[in-house]
Amino acid sequence: MTELLLNHLGGRAQAGTGQGTILVDPVLGTELVRVDATGLDLAAGFAFARDHAGPALRALTYAQRGEMLAAAGKVLQARRDEYYAISTANSGTVRNDTAVDVDGAIFTLGAYARSAATLGARTHLVDGDAVSLSKDASFQSQHVQVPTRGVALFINAFNFPAWGLWEKAAPALLSGVPVIVKPATATAWLTQRMVQDVLEAGVFPPGALSVICGSSAGLMDQLKPFDVVSFTGSADTAAVIRSHPAIVRASVRVNIEADSINSAVLLPGEASGSASFDLFVKEVAREMTVKSGQKCTAIRRMFVPESLFDAAAEAIAARLQKNTVGNPRNDSVRMGSLVSRAQFDAVRAGLSGLKAHARTLYDGDTQALVDADRAVACCMGPTLLGATDPDANALVHDTEVFGPVATLMPYRDLPHALQLVQRGQGSLVASLYGSDNAALGSCALDLAASHGRVHAVSPEVAASHTGHGNVMPQSLHGGPGRAGGGEELGGLRALNFYHRRAAVQGAQAVLSQIH
C-alpha cells in the first residue's frame, strides 16, 4: 500500500483513520502517496494553536519572528531538490515551472524575513500619529495594530502547493498568528513535506504551523470570532465559505482569491515587429504555457488594434509551435501536464465551450507528446483562440479555462480596449505593452479600479520586468469583483489582515507607553 502522509495538528503528527485518497502522477498514472484527515480532533487542534502557539508567537518581537522565517527558508533551501522531485511527480511540472513554485516560496520567506528587521524589537504596530481630542491636547487618540488572538486557516488551491503555502504563512507567522493550512488534495504532497520538514527542524513553537491533508469537512466549523480564513480557489467554493455561519454571524475575517480572467493589451501606435509588439507576443506565449496555464494570474484575453489582429495571431502561434509538451523528466520538454485527470477533463470541457464562440488560431494538440501516452498523461498542448467580435461575445469575457488556453481579440480604439478589459468584472492583473509612457500611465490608472495589479511593459524594461503572471512579495496580490475582493502580499501591507486596529485614548503620558 502507498505511504500515508501524516497530518500535523495540535503540536504533533497524526495519521487519519480512513482509507484516504491516493495521489497520482498525472503523466505516468502511477500511485504516489495517500492523504487522509479522517478522525482528527479538529476542535482540540485549533484550540492548541490558539491557546499555546499564539501566546508563544506573540511573546516574540517581529524581528525574532523574522529570524524564524529566515530559518525556515534555510530548511527549505537545503531540501530544494527533494521538492523539485515531488513537484515533478505530483504536479507534472517541468523544472522551470517548479522553480516558480518552490523557489518563489523560498524567495517570499526571505523577503518577509528581511522586512521583519525593519520592525525591530516591537510586539505591536503604531498606526499614524496621535491626534488631540481636547482643546488643550491633554486627551489624545493613538491608533495601534495588535496581532489577532486567533488562528489563520488557509484553504489553498492545487496549482501552487509550495508558494501558495508560504505567501500566506510568512506574513501570518511574522504577525504572531499560528497557521493551519489545508492544501488542495490533488497536490498536497509538497505542502505536507515542506511543513513536516520545518516542524522537524524545530523552527516554530509547537502548534504554530499545522497541515491537514484530505477532506476539509468541519474545518470552517472550528472558526471563532478572532480567527481569520484565507481561501484561494473557485468562485463557487468562495460563495460557500462566505455563507458559512462563522463568517456571517461571528464576523470571522475572510480573504478570497477566486476566478480571474486576466488581460494583456497592446496599445495603439505599435507596428508589427516593433519592440513593444514583440514583448506582447513573447509574454502572451509564455503565460499560456508556464505551469500549463494553471496560474490564477495567467493571461486569458489579449487585445490588439484591429489592424494587427492577423499579425499578432501569426506571431503568437509561431512561438507556441516551438513548445514541446510531454513528460517533464525529458529535458527536451518545455511544458508538462495538468495536475490531474479531473483538471484535464475540466479544461477540455471549458475549451469546448469557448470553441463554439471563437475560432481556433493554433491547436497545440496536433503535435505529438514527448515520452508520454496520450491515453494516460494529463497533457494538452496550448490552444490560441480568436474572437473577432468581442462586443457580442460574452462567453470569452465570462469563462476562465484554467489551462493553456487564451483568446485574441481586436479593438477599434483605446477607449474600446479598456472597455473590453473591464468586462472581466474584476481581475488579479492586466498587462499593458507600448512605447508611449504617458498612455501607459493613463491606462494603468484607468484599469487600477478593477485590477489588483497593472503591469506596464515598455521597451526600456524589456530585460527587467518581472512578468505579467509573476507575483512578487513586494507588490499586492488580489483583485476586486470576480477576482474575490481580497488582498495578499504587498510587502508589510500583508500584516494588516492578521492584526486588529484599535484606538487607544488617554493622556499623552499614557500614550507614550505604547509607542
Contacts of 97 (CB under 8 A, 6+ apart): 290, 291, 292, 328, 335, 336
Provide the pLDDT for residue 259: 87
For the chain, give percent helix, strand, coil, nearest 5: 40, 25, 35
Tell me which residue has cell 465559505: 241
Mean pLDDT taken over the chain: 96
DSSP 309-355: HHHHHHHHHHHHHT--BB-TTSTT-SB---S-HHHHHHHHHHHHHHH
Percentage of the chain beyond pLDDT 90 is 97
Three-state SS sequence of 379-395:
CCCCEEEECCCCCCCHH
Q: Which residues are catalytic?
A: 257, 296
Beta strands in 387-489 (DSSP E): 405-411, 427-433, 451-457, 476-479, 486-489
Taking residues 228-250, what's their average pLDDT? 94
Q: Which three cell numbers stand for residue 370?
A: 514527448
Residue 86 clears pLDDT 80, i.e. is over it = yes
Q: Is the CB of residue 12 less than 8 Å from the CB of residue 199?
A: no
Q: What is the pTM of this model?
A: 0.95
- Cα 261 to chain centroid distance, Å, stands at 14
Q: Where are the domains of the chain?
A: 3-258+488-514, 262-471
Tell me, what amino acid is at 98? Answer: T
Other CB atoms within 10 A of residue 415 CB: 10
Q: What is the pLDDT of residue 261?
A: 96
How far is 30 from 13, CA to CA, in rounded Å? Answer: 26
What value does the mean pLDDT take over residues 98-127? 96
CB 222 within 8 A of CB 260: no
pLDDT of 1 above 90? no
Contact 93, 294 (CB under 8 A): no
Low-confidence winner among 83-87, 256-260, 358-362 (lowest mean pLDDT)? 256-260
3-state secondary structure of 480: coil
Q: What is the pLDDT of residue 400?
A: 94
> What's the whole-number mean pLDDT along residues 480-494?
96
379: left (phi over 0), alpha (psi -120 to 50) or beta: beta
pLDDT value at 105 more than 90:
yes
How many Cα atoms within 13 Å fall on the side-chain side of residue 263? 30
pLDDT digits (tens, 9 = 90+) for 447-456: 999 999 999 9
CB distance 38 to 236 below 8 Å? no
Pairwise CA distance, residues 165 & 209, whole Å: 11
* Answer CATH for 3-258+488-514 from 1.10.1660.10, 3.30.160.40, 3.20.20.70, 3.40.605.10: 3.40.605.10
Burial class from Cβ neighbours inside 10 Å (0-12, 13-18, 19+) for residue 134 reads exposed
pLDDT in tens, 67-82: 999 999 999 999 999 9
pLDDT score of 515 more than 90: no
* Residue 210 DSSP symbol: E
Enter the CATH code of domain 262-471: 3.40.309.10
Could you tell me where the beta strands, DSSP code E, fall in 102-176? 125-132, 140-147, 152-155
Q: How far is CA 182 from CA 185, 317, 402, 451, in A?
A: 8, 39, 21, 27
The whole-angstrom separation of Cα 284 and Cα 265 is 10
Task: Please give the full DSSP string across 46-100, using - where no structure is assigned.
Answer: HHHIIIIIHHHHHTS-HHHHHHHHHHHHHHHHHTHHHHHHHHHHHH---HHHHHH
pLDDT band at residue 332, thresholds of 50, 70 and 90? very high
pLDDT one-digit tens code per residue, 209-234: 999 999 889 999 999 999 999 999 99
Neighbouring residues of 497: CB distance < 8 A, sequence distance ≥ 6: 171, 228, 230, 253, 255, 487, 488
